[in-house]
Amino acid sequence: MNYFLPFTKILLFCVVVILCSLSLPCRGKDTLTLGESLQDGDTLISKGDIFELGFFTPGEPNRRYIGVWYRSFSTKLETILWVANREKPVTNLSGGALALSPDGNLIVTNTGSDMLWSTNISTPISNNQSRIVQLLADGNIVMNNSDGTTVWQSFDYPTDTYIPGMRVGLDLQTGVNQVFTSWRSKTDPAPGNFTLGIDPGRSTQLFVWDGRRPRWRSGRWNGQVC
C-alpha cells in the first residue's frame, strides 16, 4: 500500500511541473532573440507587469501598429506610449511581424521581406556575439549584444509620450535633438504637425512647434519654481 504513496506524489509533482512549464511562455516573456519574431496577438511583458509590447489598431482594423502601452489600463489605446512603425502600418494581419533580423536590426515586416520599419543601425554583430531585444521594467526597449552593451534603445526615439527614465533633450556632442511628435490624428500615429523639444539655439527653453513655427515657449528657466 505505502509503495504507491510516493509514486502518486511523484506523478503529481510531474503534472504540476509540466503544467507550469506549459503556462510559463504565456506570461511575462520579455525578450526576443535572433530568429524569433512576434506575430499579431503575441506580446512581450516587462518584468513587474507594467508595460506590454505588441500590435494595436487605433483606427481601421487592417492598419496595425506595433507599440508599447501600460498593461494595467483596460483602454489600451488611451495609453500607447511608443510606436515603432508610425508611418507604415502592417496591413497583412497574418504576415506582420516584429523580429530581430540576421543583420542585427529590430524590424517590422508586412510579409516576409516587405520591411515597414527598422532600427536601422549599422553596428554589425561580431562573430563571437549574439544580440537580444528586451522590454525593460521601465518601458524602454533595448537591443543588447551578448556582452551586455546596448546598441539601440527606444528611449532615444520617443514618439509623443515622456516616460520617466527617458533622457530628453539636445545632445551637444552629436547635435541630435530629441523631440516628441504628436500623432497626426487620434487614429493615425504617423508624425503630426506638433513637436515639443528643447530650443536648438541653446536657450534652455522648451518649445512647441507647429511645423517650423514656434507656437509656445516655456520661458528661460531662472532657477526658481514658477
Please give the residue whose beta carbon sits closest to ligand NAG in the complex. Answer: 95
| Residue 148 vs 201, nearer CB to ligand NAG | 148
Question: Which listed residue (34, 50, 142, 151) binds ligand NAG by CB under 6 A?
Answer: 142
Q: What's the closest the beta carbon of residue 95 comes to ligand NAG, in angstroms?
A: 2
- Residue 159: how many other CB atoms lie within 10 Å: 20
- Let me know: does 98 contact 56? Beta carbons within 8 Å: no
Is 123 one of the binding residues for ligand NAG (CB under 6 A)? no
The amino acid present at 81, given as its one-letter code, is: L
Q: How far is the CB of 113 from ligand NAG (least distance, A)?
A: 10
Please state, in angstroms and rounded to a whole number, the distance separating the CA atoms of residues 174 and 171.
6
Residue 161 makes contact with ligand NAG by CB under 6 A: no
For residue 88 the three cell numbers come to 507604415
Q: How far is the CB of 144 from ligand NAG (least distance, A)?
A: 4
CB nearer to ligand NAG: pick between 186 and 202: 186
- How far apart CA 69 and CA 51 sit, in angstroms, is 6
CB closer to ligand NAG out of 187 and 193: 193
Site mask, ligand NAG, residues 90-109, x = CB under 6 A?
--x-xx--------------
Region of 20 (left: φ > 0; alpha: ψ -120 to 50; beta: rest) is alpha
Whole-angstrom distance, CA of residue 160 vs CA of residue 196: 9
**Judging by beta carbons within 10 Å of its beta carbon (0-12, 13-18, 19+), is residue 52 exposed, middle or buried?**
buried
Question: How far is the C-alpha of 13 from the C-alpha of 77, rounded, in Å?
Answer: 42
The correct pick among 111, 124, 200, 217 for binding ligand NAG (CB under 6 A) is 111
Return the number of the residue (10 or 165) whose C-beta is nearest ligand NAG: 165
The sign of the torsion formed by the CA atoms of 165, 170, 173, 175 equals positive
- The verdict on 187 binding ligand NAG (CB under 6 A) reads no
Q: How far apart are CA 207 and CA 196, in angstroms?
A: 6
Size of the site for ligand NAG (CB under 6 A): 19
Judged by the rule CB under 6 A, the positions of this chain that interact with ligand NAG are 31, 92, 94-95, 111, 118, 120, 126, 128, 132, 134, 136, 142, 144, 148, 150, 192-193, 211
